Structures are given as structure tokens and as C-alpha cells.
Amino acid sequence: MRDSGIKVFSRELGTDIGSSWDFSDDAELIYAAEGSLRIIASDGFQIFTLREGEGVFIPPRAISSVIAADMRAVSHHVAFDVSIVWNDIGSAVYRKYSEPLLSIPSPLSLSPQSAAKVDEAYRIMAEGAYCAELEARNLISAVLIAILREIQDRQMPEKALQNDRLLRMITFIKEHFQEDITLTMIAAAGNVSDRECLRSFQKSLRTSPVQYLISYRIAEGMKLLRNTTLSVSEIAYAVGFGSPSHFSRTFRDLQGMSPSDFRKGSL
């Protein structure tokens, strides 16, 4: 049965893997209605076994097999295009929430609460009552939200580690910007390689560690130009530049004016 992009069907499964491979552009939610199911990836590797009452999310275009774990099983399927839930294709909201789902490489087991929602969506659509499509869409949406939160939770430790490393490197720059520091020294502060240091800054700040250092030195120089009577030469050395001419040239490149003109405009 297909309505508004949602298709539901039931299968009675055996243990023969040979005829059970499936591949679809649709995402699929599967519920173990009777018996246990075995979910297998395209290389024949067993991913996990679902007991009766449990569920699984099969991402679009994932080649997989669903068979009975022991002699016979019955599965309930809810297949759909992700766009039925977030139908504003191309919008920022659609990209933010659909792309993580579409990038899941293999089947993902569901919580008991989500599995129950899958079976409810199947039954509502199978019965075909008035507003069935709307009710089923709400249930599917709730399941997808739970999946997205699980994905986010799994990524949090890695993101926290990356943020901690970046914070340590930025702190090092701010504490030592007056000194002759190098990329390797900045990377060492985060306990990462030079290459990973470059990648972290580019990914998070869209700049390089050295460019961040230079920009920070110029920002500190602007403070001194505005709030002190130190000469341009004194300020150049105070913020870590090797010569006043290098400071003035870099200042002009970033600010569009000389240090002296900036100081005049700040008076």
C-alpha cells in the first residue's frame, strides 16, 4: 500500500539468505512482529539479531538482507522517502536533518519506544483510516528524531575532544603570541600533529593556525595603538613581530590602513 510516499507491507520470512537481498532508494523501518529477524549486510556480515518486538532502520540505498533467525518470522515494513517528513527539499532544515540520515552506511537498531511507533505506523497505514497518512508521518518523524539524537550523542565525545584540543591550541597562541612560536609548537599544545592542527583550525575557524596567530597579534597591536602612547616600533616588537616594517605591512594588509593612520582615527 502506498499513500503520500509511505508504503507498508508484511513479509513472512525464512532462513534463506540467497533470495532476500534488498536495495531501495527509500528508507525503511522494520518491526519484528513474530519470531526473530537477522539483519545482514551486503558482504554477508551479520549485523545483529532482532527479537520479537524490536525494530531497525535501513538507510536508503543500503544493500541488506532480512531473514528469519530461526525457521520462520514475520516482519512489518514501513518504507518512505525522507522528503515526506521534511518536504522542503533544498532548505537549510532539510539539509541539516536529512543528510545525516542519508549518510548512515548500515542498518541501525531502534529503541523499544521507536520500534513500537514503527508497528503503530504500519497498522495505521494498513487499516487505511481517515488521516492515516498524517498520523503515520508523525510517528515516522518521531522515530527519525530519535535516530538523529542517537547519532548526535555518538558524535559528542569526538566533538568534545576536538573542541578541547582546539581550545588548548588557541589558549597557547593567546598566552605566547609575543614569542617566536611555530606551527609545531601550536600543534604540540593540542597534542596533535602539524597536519591535524591545520585541519582543526581550517574546519572550525576557516583559517590556518599561523594566520590566526597573525590576526591575534594585529588585534593586540590595535589595542596598544588605541590605548597607549607606545611608538609603532615598540608595539611591533611587543606583539611578536620581528620588525616594525613587517608589522606595518601586515597591519595595512588586514586593516586597509597604516598603524599611524589607525591611531589618528582612534583619537
* pLDDT tens string 103-157: 777 788 899 999 999 999 999 999 998 999 999 999 999 999 999 888 776 655 5
pLDDT at 42 over 90: no
pLDDT at 50 over 50: yes
pLDDT at 3 over 50: no
Residue 159 has a pLDDT of 56
**Alpha-carbon span 99 to 119, nearest angstrom:** 25
pLDDT at 41 over 60: yes
Mean pLDDT calculated for residue range 257-265: 90
Mean pLDDT rounded to a whole number for the chain: 85
Residue 232 has a pLDDT of 96
Full set of structural domains in the chain with CATH: 2-153 (2.60.120.280), 211-266 (1.10.10.60)
Residue 236 has a pLDDT of 96
Question: Which pairing describes strands 21-22 and 6-13: parallel, antiparallel, or unpaired?
Answer: unpaired
Name the band, by pLDDT with cuts 50, 70 and 90, for residue 1.
very low
Summarised one tens digit per residue, pLDDT across range 188-224 is 999 989 999 998 888 777 789 999 999 999 999 999 9
Q: Which residue has the higher pLDDT, 45 or 142?
A: 142
Q: Which residue has the higher pLDDT, 140 or 167?
A: 140
Name the band, by pLDDT with cuts 50, 70 and 90, for residue 161.
low
pLDDT above 90 coverage of the chain, percent: 49
Summarised one tens digit per residue, pLDDT across range 55-89 is 999 888 776 778 888 888 999 999 998 877 766 66
> Buried b vs exposed e over 110-128: b needs ≥16 C-beta within 10 Å?
beeebbbbbbbbbbbbbee
Mean pLDDT calculated for residue range 93-98: 76
